[in-house]
Amino acid sequence: MRVARFAHGERIGYGVVDEDALVVLTGDPIVAGFDTTGERIPLGEARLLAPVIPRSKVVAVGRNYAKHAAELGNEVPTEPLVFLKPNTSVIGPGDAIVMPPESQDVHFEGEIAIVIGRVARRLTKANALHAVFGVTVANDVTARDLQRREQQWARAKGFDTFCPLGPAIETEPDWNDLRLITRVDGEVRQDGVSSDWIFDAPTVLEWITAAMTLLPGDVVLMGTPEGVGPLAAGQTVEVEVPGVGTLRNPVVAQSVATPA
């Protein structure tokens, strides 16, 4: 089942994607389940939003594909390497990735994202997937020059608009056969599969929740395959996970500073 969050007129709601329509749900399915109102909205009449706004955090796994670690000159980690992105970095399909003036080397990183469905603390590999609501598509946008320069990655990974999510959540993924394809202006740059993860989803969730509680709606990014590279204003980046959807975002330069 694919679930989307949408805007239609003045309303923001949730719906199940059924071919070319949204079957409207009574509320946030993570909290309220899958009861429907009976209303159907044509997909062409709705604007899809980030399918979830993390309640507290986005947790990301670094270097979880061996070839990506190698392309940046890094060793393959012996245990999951995790970092945080703020929930204020989340945007949805069609929203613009804004190039901050503080960086001259902003990269795309297409990723598969896990959406948490219940409070999760000290999970084990055996029960970890029971805490998962589903998977969506993500782009772990990174200011690579800042990442290289600073020991902590919070700034390099945490700018506003640096975590596009969407367009939908697949609640019954095939964990062994999730393919990820990233395109920039239509050209394929990344093509990876979940079977290439160094640390699989249960291992990652066990590792994270030994240190911190994951809340319903929190998101875990599972790492990026090889092929990352720079973005420039005017380009469009697409990250596709077949069966989940294609996350498409234009790239723009920051023109006017936003007042505090």
Confidence (pLDDT) at 259: 53
Confidence (pTM)? 0.95
Q: Each residue of 214-234: b (16+ CB within 10 Å) or e?
A: bebbbbbbbbbbbbbeebeee
Sheet of strand 187-193, all strands in order from the earlier edge strand to the far edge: 97-99, 245-253, 236-241, 179-184, 187-193
Q: Is residue 171 part of a domain?
A: yes
Number of domains in the chain: 2
- We report the CATH number of the domain holding residue 81 as 3.90.850.10
pLDDT in tens, 53-96: 998 999 999 999 988 878 888 788 899 999 999 999 999 999 99
pLDDT in tens, 126-172: 999 999 999 999 999 999 999 999 999 999 999 999 999 999 999 99
Give, in order, the Cα–Cα distances in Å from 67 to each of 8, 132, 138.
Answer: 42, 27, 19
Q: Is residue 53 part of a domain?
A: no
One domain for residues 39 and 157 = no
One domain for residues 70 and 131 = yes
pLDDT in tens, 99-125: 999 999 999 999 999 999 999 999 999
One domain for residues 19 and 99 = no
One domain for residues 87 and 105 = yes
> Structural domain of residue 113, as residue ranges?
58-253
How many residues in total does the chain contain?
260
One domain for residues 80 and 14 = no
- We report the CATH number of the domain holding residue 22 as 2.30.30
